[in-house]
Structure 1
């Protein structure tokens, strides 16, 4: 009986090579590049399949990012999907919210807001500076300032718009690739340190060059290697037609150099190139910007208050808040404000070491405390413009949490706290819809907090070219 079962198993067994090629590609598309490299070593038959760019590596890119971006448009459709995969897997860590860290040394430019949001574009990743509007509404200003893509040669390329003047679109990308915005944009390097820290600094080794080729003049980028390295990936000249071997390209560059020195047209192109370089050198250098990723920017079942929130403050302006749970079970809320403001980096708006909620039914004292506080909300005129009624009923409270005012605990002289410890106490009222409001016993108002983003999109977005 055992021998019969073994015989049936051997007869009915199917190997991976028995599957059709499209099924094989689908299975392999779930693997990582290192796993694919290991699998290619198992058989000579699978080497060509694992090296197939338009089949396997396209499937890898399409499965992971096909619903988020148009992968066939990256690099004008000329970059290999294997190279595209290496680039996109690094750009993937950018998606989401980041906060500027440290001081802003870029004097002469408008001071940027500290919050940054990265999202997928059709053939690029764009970063936008995000700030609250000053109109007394829940509208959020979103100003694109950073563009990251890949050149047809396979080299990553990034540009920064210091003044947020341009909208990041396909036309913008084409103009940047053709060098038409070279006097407006700053070529930058985006360097990652792990997955939650990055530095954006000016790439001074990028120069714009006019390439006079038999196929016609084409404007592109050339990366100069400070070490004189002439490897193909470091040479990075954007060329039309098929790329030759390294000696061919090196000889072609020498020929173009001497042709520019001898021909009238070449002399004019060389003068234009020198003028552009002089203009760039005369422009003040963009100082590096440091960013830290906001990893937990949305609530979770175990941490219902964490994330980024927005709310109308006592000055009737919109403000951003970041609520985080610490390692010892406490909760702290800080304004996402300008790091130049005093105590903005370490002094939270409220803090509590106890995350235990008070569940209903609530005492009459707690009900009176909530009912006696006034909710800070946008003015009725602004609400009616957005098609909403000029009145809003109070939210239904599902549970309550005790908090403290940290300004009184950390810097009492600044806050002017009294001797009564109850004056620093406050409450968080969590509503049935998942949002919450907070207030203190010494005040008579509640700041209701709403979500900044939902499902990867910023809510109430108002695009602008200047923040």
Structure 2
């Protein structure tokens, strides 16, 4: 009879150990390292381990060995990418004086940077969206975070630009600070050098510790109770008359005198946290659809904690989202399943689907094919905003045909909505899918 000899983790080959450890997150890895001196050294200094961890989490999304021109430690890179990952997805500008630029922003991974693009509906009466890059976030070869603003949205960043070898960045782009307030709010401001900035571009609160270089233990997230402290600290840092404010103003005046920097008003952005549908919330997320004037617009559908649903327009609106009345709303998310009554069949069949002309529609992904037309998966009763913003229409005297509507969910997961007062249905489709922006075109291609 053979005797089984148990093996400890240390008995496995080193490449197997690295593979297993690469599945851990830094707090777990730190706890594991405390069990053995050899593992402490592995945790602190072994670049193979940290490369494996970076590659496992982000290797399919970006080129790990090109960040910082490959000259920064992978342990340091892990911390930065862990912070950057929260940016991926949709954000919306809030407040500020600039209402000429689109409010919707989409962040995505690049080869050695993250890029933020302003997203707006095209004017070609199709489903295409204009993607205009305006913010580049990366790491210089010395390990410093660098953030560049592209006001015109026509610049292509290279590694030589980040290393300062091309001489183009200073003349074409504006270096800015990207300051985070909690997890769902950040501000883009003029670049300044302050003592409370760890890496250039990441503002930290006093409780975060020193995050420069390799000294970043236990900074992989701030407890929720620190959020208000961070907010107050942020605004205190902006308005404080002390410190090195005079020297900052002098540097800014020198740059403006040399014509290398123009004044950039701060822009605040908040995250759209639920921008994709879920099985339990099939209507949730950002959608795009052709309006009754045949123009393209964006719609944000959100669920509340009580089961209600509301839809608002986003995109080129000049007013904050909170000031826009919902396009439709309902206090119940319970669908009606088929078969439907003859009256409901008539309500649906008599309506025209608003879609772009075939010759202007260059996208075929996610469209309702002819086989899907008329095939309704289920239906939901909704109300328009008439009874919310027009007092005379509320109550028992309101005409139900003015406020009542329907959502028809199609077999392919998309949906359309319409009201009894109208003779059309606005069919909605995805703006992005699997982290990729759909039907994106450059500004120069827009007619």
Q: What is the TM-score of this pair, normalised by structure 2?
A: 0.79
8 Å Cα contact 1:166-1:465 kept in structure 2: no
Quick check: 400-409 or 338-347, which moved more? Answer: 338-347
1:334 equivalenced with 2:312 (yes/no): yes
> Which residue is equivalent to 1:199?
187
Structure 1 gaps, min length 5: 207-220, 224-230, 235-272
Correspondence for 2:408 among 405, 429, 432: 429
Decide which structure has the larger Cα Rg and report it. Answer: 1
Deviations 1:357-410 (A, max 9, x none): 111111110011111111111123324x66999x95734111111110113322
> Which residue is equivalent to 1:105?
97
> Which residue is equivalent to 2:420?
441
Counterparts in 2 of 1:368 and 1:172: CA distance versus 1, 3 Å: farther
Shift of 1:283: 4.8
Q: Distance in 2 between matches of 1:432 and 1:201?
A: 45
Deviations 1:40-60 (A, max 9, x none): 332222233223343111111
> Which residue is equivalent to 1:117?
106
Counterparts in 2 of 1:81 and 1:386: CA distance versus 1, 3 Å: closer
Q: Distance in 2 between matches of 1:438 and 1:378?
A: 16
8 Å Cα contact 1:349-1:407 kept in structure 2: no
1:292 equivalenced with 2:285 (yes/no): no
Shift of 1:466: 9.7
> Which residue is equivalent to 2:228?
none
Correspondence for 2:158 among 167, 170, 191: 170
Counterparts in 2 of 1:52 and 1:233: CA distance versus 1, 3 Å: closer
> Which residue is equivalent to 1:187?
175
Counterparts in 2 of 1:113 and 1:165: CA distance versus 1, 3 Å: same
Give 3-state SS (helix, strand or coil) of 1:67's partner: coil
8 Å Cα contact 1:74-1:150 kept in structure 2: yes
Q: Distance in 1 between matches of 2:179 and 2:433?
A: 28
Correspondence for 1:49 among 24, 42, 48: 42
> Which residue is equivalent to 1:83?
76
1:15 equivalenced with 2:11 (yes/no): no
> Which residue is equivalent to 1:154?
143
8 Å Cα contact 2:50-2:78 kept in structure 1: yes
1:30-429 counterparts in 2 under 5 A? 30-102=23-95, 104-106=96-98, 111-167=100-156, 169-170=157-158, 173-174=161-162, 178-205=166-193, 233=212, 277-279=255-257, 283-341=261-319, 345-383=323-361, 394-412=373-391, 419-429=398-408
8 Å Cα contact 2:382-2:405 kept in structure 1: yes
Q: Distance in 2 between matches of 1:48 and 1:375?
A: 64
Q: Distance in 2 between matches of 1:172 and 1:344?
A: 43
Deviations 1:9-41 (A, max 9, x none): xx6221111011111111211222233233333
Quick check: 189-198 or 369-378, which moved more? Answer: 189-198
> Which residue is equivalent to 2:433?
454
Give 3-state SS (helix, strand or coil) of 2:172's partner: coil
Give 3-state SS (helix, strand or coil) of 1:183's partner: helix
8 Å Cα contact 1:299-1:307 kept in structure 2: yes
Quick check: 77-86 or 418-427, which moved more? Answer: 418-427
Cα RMSD after superposing both structures: 3.4
Q: How many residues align?
A: 394
Counterparts in 2 of 1:346 and 1:100: CA distance versus 1, 3 Å: same
Counterparts in 2 of 1:175 and 1:466: CA distance versus 1, 3 Å: farther
Structure 2 gaps, min length 5: 202-209, 214-250
8 Å Cα contact 1:358-1:401 kept in structure 2: yes
Q: What is the TM-score of this pair, normalised by structure 1?
A: 0.76
Q: Distance in 2 between matches of 1:222 and 1:131?
A: 30
Q: Distance in 1 between matches of 2:252 and 2:182?
A: 38
Q: Distance in 1 between matches of 2:352 and 2:191?
A: 52
Give 3-state SS (helix, strand or coil) of 2:323's partner: coil
Give 3-state SS (helix, strand or coil) of 2:119's partner: strand
